[in-house]
Chains A and B, each alone.
Chain A
């Protein structure tokens, strides 16, 4: 499988969850686990470009597929991805635990809806839980990310 553009070995344990494989085997701890059963959305990654809950997949199911995690949005020293930039600017995070999941969901959403309405934004992020922000600044961040992406 390819993770953030890099070819990675298959998981040795067929029961390894994809989220655990990313976090523990590859050390990509930016993908967080908040509920372990697909409700909170903290573990959202892109699977062939589509947002998925990595805690609901086995690592072996990713064989031959292309994955992207939050670490793949921008190289460490490179400028931030517009979605990252927007969440930072608009105070779209407080504790930040849910943030990678929101970022990945937003990246996929904006590809499909480059100029979204407020209702579309609320709908798009309703699958991710945040306990700190009350979502208002997350909505602003998604709107801002759309602007930044169109400028880019």
Chain B
């Protein structure tokens, strides 16, 4: 007889449950929402990076046709500041007598009958600014004491000496998450003074706390609902339209729709922290690392956002996934007059990975060692300690990743004209093209760190569906941002409950917090909550069925031999509902020496990039990125490969083309014409191996998978470009001028690695 087995369980490549709606065009993204009688809102933003608002005159704007409300800081009812950071530091609106601290900061909001009326009214607000000097150099800011967070990690002998020492300076530009769906939402007043906000976000409850405080309504009077999210990658961790749309809805008593255009989106969300990094790495003649000393300066922009966590990540992972007995790492985020920087996929770890991996290659060259062998020699293993003193207790298959990735076959050469560097530009000469490879490894924490009580809540219900058969439903507040948490949680419910019919209810704040869809954490956190809630439901079914019932599968209650006793629905006269709040193992903060068990678990990854370069033309093509990734267990291999390919695309962008350019704190390229992201023709082939060493404590052993593809792929591409050109290439994204040897990245400041840049000196040119 055929084995009784539920289809669509964990480990299977189940298609996304939201795919039918998304391919039919009837999935509602935040920007697609409508409500009867809704108004359209527009934000007036400061054109100046730093200025005092002397006056704001809204008289003309308010009298314009169709305009229903114009709000300034004078109209704010509650707390005037919001932030992911505690205490909050970012004004909801900057008022008269107050300072705007970045170009693009909101000053007023307008609601009107038509979006064009709202735009014109916002433009008609007369704002008088007194210009103030803009602080845009992060090192200068730190020297002036304008610091969001700084920390030091000191391990072993901070002055250790080594036989072989390499020093290097590295920079990383400001990357935009560039989700294709801009910020959007709809606020609907309920008439009793409460409001429903439908918004595209990464974290409903994190938003809710901030919105509630600023609206000053009674508890429960603000309800958040997840609108369709058009990509996130960190861009939706901070608030955007949330408070503004709610304020306008409450003021006018009408639904208010608000969305940002692409240009506005560039100042409407945080970006990846640009970094300047001074490194010194020492090893003995065998290649064993003796010390890493580093100073990492991050530009935090005008407000705190996630800078605290990014600063800590940059430091904790700053020496790389290696055995490093002696370390001195100074990491700090400067407060400047730039658009705030915060969360983006792999935050903190992406920046320092470029530096520590560049250093490993320089060290290998100095030692005359193969770069892969040097990494193998120093690769961190389970049971060993990070530079924070934390012992890795879970899976750490780094040596296996390195071997498997290095052994993947190298790509064949293509004869296609378009496959030359520069593609359709047709500039590169086939005869000049040099092929080379580069290798890099990286690691990062999963979920929240440094003592944060990280948890997720799930409610699972089992009942008779419309056809009389058992139907499970899952309710969580986890944000589906495209990563596929809806697929994974359904697979988990099927596995635990033995039923194939599973639906996901809309995510909103009527169920407990799920935390954010960030830090590669939802599979572990919400996955665990769904798994454990489902197990409690299953226990109740078995209790109702009585002995000899032992397990559930394929819609049946089974006995110890796996024989079907009865269909599950027989025991569902009364539905069963259970809720579970899952907390991960507590972590601790970092002490003044930067020591502590700050992280719950780690993901490791290896990348090998193959590039073709025409060094004379300064043109490069990333031909292939091969990768081996530590995934614990692939709950949905199709989705894991999708995350890997998507993350590598962003890594290719980071390494070769993506950078927000600023002058005096103003963004110069706020459009997809000028901020370039990879197209299908830029995208290399991806060859990936999933290494499944189960992680203790994680559901089915599954680690997160979202961030690692972007951690070391830029570093591997940089290494390959160096190998092809022989140039230093100390800056990402690598520019054509640097490839061609016409420019080189040089620091503006002389800084001793491991020491605060406060002690640095401006370099004479």
Chain A residues engaging chain B, CB cutoff 8 angstroms:
23, 27-37, 39-40, 42, 69-71, 73-74, 76, 80, 84-85, 87-89, 91, 93-100, 103, 119, 122-123, 125-139
Given A94-B482, A97-B181, A126-B679, CB of A137 within 8 Å of CB of B673: no
With A35-B671, A134-B647 known, 11 other A-B pairs at CB within 8 A are: A28-B25, A29-B34, A37-B262, A70-B25, A71-B24, A85-B23, A91-B15, A93-B19, A94-B646, A134-B683, A137-B638
Contact indicator B686/A134 (Cβ below 8 Å): yes
Q: Which of B482-500 contact A (CB under 8 A)?
A: 482-484
* Other-chain residue from B28, B482, B644, B683 in contact with A95 (beta carbon distance below 8 A): B482
Contact indicator B230/A95 (Cβ below 8 Å): yes
Contact indicator A97/B679 (Cβ below 8 Å): no
Q: Which of B1-60 contact A (CB under 8 A)?
A: 13, 15-16, 18-20, 22-29, 31-32, 34
Which residue in chain A gives the minimum CB-CB distance to B29? Answer: A97
Interface-central residue, A95, A133, A136, by most chain B CB under 10 Å = A95
Shortest CB-to-CB span from A72 to chain B, Å, is: 9
Given A34-B180, A88-B15, A135-B683, CB of A76 within 8 Å of CB of B671: no
* Other-chain residue from B27, B180, B261, B647 in contact with A129 (beta carbon distance below 8 A): B180
Bound complex: CA A80 to CA B644 (Å)? 28
Which residue in chain B gives the minimum CB-CB distance to A91? Answer: B638
Given A134-B683, A136-B645, CB of A40 within 8 Å of CB of B180: yes
Contact indicator A97/B681 (Cβ below 8 Å): no
Contact indicator A122/B646 (Cβ below 8 Å): no
Q: What are the residues of chain B within 8 A of A98 when measuring CB–CB?
A: 180
- B233 part of interface (Cβ distance < 8 Å): yes
Which residue in chain B gives the minimum CB-CB distance to A85? Answer: B23
Contact indicator A133/B25 (Cβ below 8 Å): no
Q: What are the residues of chain B within 8 A of A122 when measuring CB–CB?
A: 418, 680-681
* Other-chain residue from B15, B32, B231, B680 in contact with A126 (beta carbon distance below 8 A): B680
Given A35-B671, A39-B671, CB of A129 within 8 Å of CB of B416: no
Shortest CB-to-CB span from A112 to chain B, Å, is: 17
Contact indicator A133/B180 (Cβ below 8 Å): no
Which residue in chain A gives the minimum CB-CB distance to B30? Answer: A97
* Other-chain residue from A80, A135, A136 in contact with B24 (beta carbon distance below 8 A): A80
Q: What are the residues of chain B within 8 A of A95 when measuring CB–CB?
A: 179-181, 229-232, 481-482
Q: Which of B666-682 contact A (CB under 8 A)?
A: 671-673, 677, 679-681
Q: What are the residues of chain A within 8 A of B29 when measuring CB–CB?
A: 29, 32, 97
Q: Is the interface of A mostly helix, strand, loop or mixed?
A: loop
Bound complex: CA A111 to CA B267 (Å)? 41
Interface-central residue, A27, A103, A133, by most chain B CB under 10 Å = A133
Bound complex: CA A74 to CA B19 (Å)? 14
Which residue in chain A gives the minimum CB-CB distance to B681? Answer: A126
Contact indicator B642/A133 (Cβ below 8 Å): yes
* 17 interchain pairs, CB-CB under 8 A: A29-B25, A30-B25, A32-B32, A34-B181, A34-B182, A39-B672, A84-B23, A88-B19, A95-B180, A99-B22, A126-B679, A129-B180, A129-B677, A132-B482, A132-B646, A137-B638, A137-B641
Contact indicator B642/A94 (Cβ below 8 Å): yes
* Other-chain residue from B13, B22, B34, B645 in contact with A93 (beta carbon distance below 8 A): B22
- B649 part of interface (Cβ distance < 8 Å): yes
- B720 part of interface (Cβ distance < 8 Å): no
Contact indicator A29/B32 (Cβ below 8 Å): yes
Contact indicator B482/A29 (Cβ below 8 Å): no
Q: What are the residues of chain A within 8 A of B677 when measuring CB–CB?
A: 129, 131
Shortest CB-to-CB span from A133 to chain B, Å, is: 5
Contact indicator B16/A93 (Cβ below 8 Å): yes
Which residue in chain A gives the minimum CB-CB distance to B642? Answer: A91
Bound complex: CA A130 to CA B484 (Å)? 16
